[in-house]
Amino acid sequence: MAQELSIRARNKVYSDLDFAFRMNPVTNDVSLKKDVEAVKQSVVNILSTNRGERPFMPDFGANIQGFLFENVDSVTSALIEEQIRSAIANYEPRVRVLEVSVEDLSYRNAINIRLDIEILSPSQTITSVEFIVERLR
């Protein structure tokens, strides 16, 4: 009697530390972010990093903070979008950028960025990432 082989695709679970460093109430350890939330956190981390900030990786990041005090018009928005698409393509292979929206918040010296992304996993999840880039001090 021949046995049937069952072949299934293995679902990959993405996980990362929660950068808010919240304590897990069960394990009393640092909480983890999983799947979609882990990937979204990675995207925000890449886009929030300026080039030259990360040791031994001088090209890592998107340099979006360099646009904070610029007049955000169609040309500047296109440059920001290009920086975002390039950084994500180079440093986050789990994601494909579908759409980038840049909103000028010059009244508070900030830029609101919204990305529609597709997470390249067996489930092909489409989600949004939105964050504000502003000067810290």
Domains and CATH numbers, the chain: 32-134 (3.10.450.40)
pLDDT in tens, 10-56: 566 778 878 877 888 888 888 888 888 899 999 999 999 999 999 99
Q: Are 18 and 32 in contact (CB under 8 A)?
A: yes
Question: Do 68 and 110 form a contact (C-beta atoms < 8 A)?
Answer: yes
pTM of the model as a whole:
0.81
Contact in structure between 88 and 95 (CB atoms under 8 Å): yes
- Sheet (strand 95-105) strand order: 95-105, 110-119, 125-134
Position 92 pLDDT exceeds 90: yes
Question: What pLDDT was estimated at residue 1?
Answer: 52
Place of tokens 């996993």: 121
Residue 21 to residue 30: CA distance in whole angstroms: 6
For the chain, the average pLDDT equals 87
